[in-house]
Chain A
């Protein structure tokens, strides 16, 4: 079965530290990939997406992600985190041949210390 794995369940960083959150998916076909963020008490918001072209995509708030097809990975990065980045982050993949089915990873909770 297709799946999306996020390796880190909870990450704690100090402000200005660099961030990298891992995401791997298990699906051999063409995919679109997404990162969503959920701030406390809010619904999910799109951070960035990849569907074709340059494998390095830039999103909002200084986030970026790199699609490495050979590794089935789509890791999220930010050079310098802020306290306001404290949130839960979800990686997701859409499966082309299954009617737009979107599968999410388990989520990574990020806590940034001021």
Chain B
């Protein structure tokens, strides 16, 4: 398996609190992605990054921000968590040859519960 580590694996937080999820890779891959997975919705792209400090919005970016200050780390921040952000969050990476011809490698997920 590709070297992707998500932290924390589980988190319970209260509405209105800030939360940061971390994705760390040891593969030196250029592309990194954050998805959320919810029943009936599949995986929806939140934000993605195509290089250090280069990020763009996905389908469901409202309420989320990201940062990528170095190749190996991609942080997802919920500035003020809401119950609708209760979900399982997956990080994914793709290699520097271009994601067009390369599969994504996924992390093990972070289960976030907002009460």
Contacts and interface: CB of A to CB of B under 8 A. Distances in A.
Interface of A: 6, 9, 32, 34, 43-44, 46, 49, 51, 90, 92, 94, 96, 98-107
B103 A99 contact: no
Contacts of A98: 56
Given A102-B45, A102-B99, A107-B42, A44 B106 contact: yes
B70 interface: no
Given A43-B108, A44-B106, A103-B59, A51 B100 contact: yes
Contact of A96 (B56, B92, B100, B104): B100
Interface of B: 31, 33, 35, 40-45, 48, 50, 56, 58-59, 90, 92, 94, 98-101, 103-104, 106-109
Contacts of A100: 31, 48, 50, 94, 98-100
A32 B104 CA distance: 12
